[in-house]
Structure 1
Amino acid sequence: MNGSASAELDGTPPPPHGEVSVSTLDFLTADNGWGPVERDRGNGEAAPGDGKALTIDGTTYERGLGTYADSTVEVFLGGNCSTFTATTGLDDEVGADGSVVFEVYADGERVYRGGTAHGSDAAVPVEARIEGARKLRLRVTDGGDGNAHDHADWAAATVRCGTGGTG
């Protein structure tokens, strides 16, 4: 049984305006190491929506993305956004297990790379400049030791965008 899932969207959705949770945006691509990328839930099993609440270091988050290494999520920004923020870490459901690296790309250029996060680590706040980028890509790789227990959360993943934009 293959536990990975992929999705691809043709065309481009409208660009976001204001402060927007990434979990509400259409995915241009979504590749995940196990099951689907989850919106506003931690990574579960093979079915969409089967994940538990996003929880890192004892804090539960209402919004965000639950992924499993190796994963890539890409959304359309249309050049209208300036900043991406999130709180990253391994979901509490894996305990002290797992190890991942979080990366943020703006139009293919890496603008953030965290250190290797482990299941026992505290949550890490991320802020990345994405000024003028048409596409935002969020990537999680395994920590170099395989992807067992790599339930990686992009908690409170948010883009800050202008009120206009050309799309």
Structure 2
Amino acid sequence: MITKRSHFLAISLLSLGLLAGCGTVPGADGQGGDGAGGKAGDDGRALGRHDGSSAYLDGRGGPNDPSGRGGAGGEPEHRVYFDLNSSIIDSSAADVLAQNARWLGKRNVTVEGHCDERGTREYNLALGQKRADAAKQYLISQGVDGSRIKTVSYGKERPLVNGHNEAAWSKNRRADLVP
């Protein structure tokens, strides 16, 4: 015989199972979707421009390709990627940004912060700005004149990859360096 209590327990367990299967829930930390859990810039990986132009692609095999090849025309890669809810510069991002610091010389650059589609527009604009600022601060720490670095956040408005899964989202959590 099924009682109200066992019925409630079964529904509760199913609900918890569904929530656990969803991973991070946008706004669950009170911050919103792709979110910044309060951290500061993260893992640098592949290269290229948001428009997919081959003039800016470095021909690497993927986000963690260890080949170390630079971009077209001797340019380093111009894109770093971030973990969910993060703007922390990890060692991969540091390598990419250090290469850019040497390459930039006297050039001006715009650092564009981007997020995945999850979360509110406002939250993702703020997180995109944190990512752009983290990349800028790292470039400054490598000797690039801060007055030559402009930052802008596009939040979730300019996805690199369309899709509603982790593969797409991981490519959209990024900062692009646009000379």
Task: Please report the TM-score for the alignment, with normalisation by the length of structure 1.
Answer: 0.32
Which structure: larger Rg? 2
Tell me which of the two structures has the higher relative contact order, counting C-alpha pairs closer than 8 angstroms and 6 or more residues apart.
Answer: 1
